Amino acid sequence: MKELSREAREFILSSIRTIPDFPKPGIQFKDITTLLNNPKAFQTLMDHLEARYREYDLDYVAGIDARGFIFGAALADRLGIGFVPVRKKGKLPSTTVSEKYSLEYGFDEVEIHIDAFGENGRCESEPARVLLIDDLIATGGTAAAASRLIGKVGAQCVECCFILELGALKGRQGIDAPIYSVITI
């Protein structure tokens, strides 16, 4: 398994801006727009992800709405495989499957097309091998729901990848797939 060098990790992290008190007081928001508009940092990250996942024999990359779309689509293109969006409820135009997850005050829902990974989630006779990707894992509710969705349609979530992990929030504990975080803070 390919690991990111300490120097590359520090370079990528230094390209991510922290916005204090956004979206509410006490939150230290990690703004990836500064990573995205830094071509060298973005290329360093994408080169690493491509090298890591080249040997995984993946069929699809699924990205979580909305920042996971950016990394997921770019990685799928580099690997020569399909990209599947995991959207917020009501955003996909065809027949979908959905999964609810808890928020601090209530619930939310994500969904995918029922045929996103082929008929019954299969590539030929085997379950489709899917990498789930997003920019950040905090409490893990969205990622856990997205991982369950992949299984619900018959595909296999091979790994969940996050650019940043907020380790103190222990979001990985609720996810039933292997997890790789490029940077844990």
**Residues near 13 by beta carbon (within 8 Å), at least 6 away in sequence:** 183, 185
Q: Is 67 a catalytic residue?
A: yes
Distance CA 68, CA 161 (A): 10
| pLDDT tens figures, 91-110 | 999 999 999 998 767 789 99
- The reported pTM is 0.95
Tell me if residue 3 is catalytic. Answer: no
Contacts of 111 (CB under 8 A, 6+ apart): 86, 87, 88, 89, 91, 92, 96, 97, 98, 99, 149
Catalytic residue among 67, 78, 109, 122: 67
pLDDT digits (tens, 9 = 90+) for 18-46: 999 999 999 999 999 999 999 999 999 99
Tell me the domains of the chain and their CATH numbers: 56-184 (3.40.50.2020)
Whether 112 and 144 have beta carbons less than 8 Å apart is answered as no
- Selecting among 6, 7, 55, 104, the annotated active-site residue is 104
